[in-house]
Amino acid sequence: MRKFFEYLKTKQFLVNLGLAIGSVILITVVAFFSLDLYTRHGSGIPIPQLEGMQVADATKLLDQQGFHYQIDSVYIGDKAPGTIVQQDPDAGTNVKEDRTIYLTVVTRQAPPVALPDLTESNYREAIATISNYGLKMGDTTYKPDIARDRVLEVHFAGQVLKPGSKLPKGSKIDLVLGDGKGASEVAIPELINLYLDEAKFAIKNSGLVLGATTYTGTVTDSTKAIVISQFPMKSDSLSKVSIGTRINITLTQKN
């Protein structure tokens, strides 16, 4: 151990140590500058501003500057077809030649979307759904219905559409909404041979009111009585009455 410490003090050891340290430093410096030269650190070509250009002009410019490019498409209704709306990397970024530039271009043809089911939705709900599906709101019309602003029908180009119908994205659709007033007249229900409970249900469901109820013959159980006449009765000259009209019925015991 003593000889080892004495060796550490010799000139030969110090020279070898200096050579070793110098070699390590030299190798590190050479490697650093070689890597920097290999990667051309700090050099490159700035990417031009491509957003807003037509794709034909942009690709021509990229070809002249030695870049590669890939193109994706998106449909935007208020943008001219062929317009570049996004680029990656951003304009001004320094990159090497042969770098691939990614472009997003407005497509010329709108993709089809399926019409959502809007029936029974109210107007506000329908607007939100239409927007989420990439469609646009057109005209609104009203027709008699008991629910105010409820969607009754969806129209496109004058045709009634069913849920799931395919439309070009961005299409305007028209809605037919309920006016909240309902129809002023309703069809007279056919009550003959109905049991009392069935007749009451049919009258109420038609927006009418049960009027006078009379019985003929011996009736021991009204639940088993059937209607044998009504007023007003549906005929060739009378098929509808105003909402709220009273319907009078006559019943008899069913054998």
Mean pLDDT of the chain: 84
Q: Which of 29-38, 113-122, 224-233 has the lowest mean pLDDT?
A: 29-38
pLDDT tens, position by position, 39-97:
444 457 888 899 999 999 999 998 988 889 999 988 777 788 899 999 998 988 888 87
What is the edge-to-edge ordering of all strands in the sheet holding 148-156?
Answer: 136-143, 172-179, 148-156, 159-161
Q: What are 209-240's pLDDT values in tens digits?
A: 999 999 998 888 888 899 999 999 988 888 88
**CATH topology assigned to domain 112-179:** Trypsin Inhibitor V; Chain A (3.30.10)
Predicted confidence at residue 191, as pLDDT, reads 95
Distance of alpha carbon 187 from alpha carbon 208, whole angstroms: 10
Domain ranges of the chain: 2-39, 45-106, 112-179, 186-253
Q: Which amino acid is at 33?
A: F
- The pLDDT score that the predictor gives to residue 38 is 47
Contact between residue 107 and residue 81 where contact means Cβ atoms under 8 Å apart: yes
Topology classification of domain 45-106:
Trypsin Inhibitor V; Chain A (3.30.10)
Q: Do domains 112-179 and 186-253 have the same CATH topology?
A: yes
Handedness of CA 68, 74, 80, 81 (dihedral sign): positive
Q: How far apart, in whole angstroms, are the C-alpha atoms of residue 19 and residue 57?
A: 60
Question: What local confidence, expressed as pLDDT, does residue 39 receive?
Answer: 47
**What's residue 199's pLDDT?**
94
The verdict on pTM exceeding 0.95 is no
Residues 122-147: what's their mean pLDDT?
89
State residue 176's pLDDT score.
93
Q: Residue 33 — very low, low, confident or very high, per pLDDT cuts 50/70/90?
A: low
**pLDDT value of position 21:** 79
Task: Tell me which fold the domain 186-253 belongs to.
Answer: Trypsin Inhibitor V; Chain A (3.30.10)
- Please identify which residue in the block is written with the tokens 């993709």: 111
Q: Taking 70 as the threshold, does the pLDDT of residue 31 lie above it?
A: no
